[in-house]
Amino acid sequence: MCHQTVSLVQKFCEENYIACSMISIIDEITIKLNPKRFLSVPYSLGFPLGEINQFENQKKIVKQLLKTIQ
């Protein structure tokens, strides 16, 4: 339900003209929720940015997430 919780916040932020994008770990769920933008990542639940303590790799994911907006 994490995907749904953040997707609901996303909906209301977008409706208030704040641009949003979310990480999608389980795309089947994300597609049902239908958020405006998302970045599909090939990781497991609990590891949204991939391997822990891998700052540069995690930063690349954050940068990719930002790029989905523009």
- Residue ranges in contact with other proteins by CB under 8 A: 1-29, 32-36, 40-53, 55, 58-59, 62-63, 65-67, 69-70
How far is Cα 58 from Cα 8, in angstroms, rounded to an integer?
24
Q: Would you say how long the chain is, in residues?
A: 70
CB 41 to other proteins: min, Å? 7
Q: What letter would DSSP give residue 53?
A: T
Contact criterion met (CB below 8 Å) for 3 and 29: yes
CB 37 to other proteins: min, Å? 10
CB 57 to other proteins: min, Å? 10
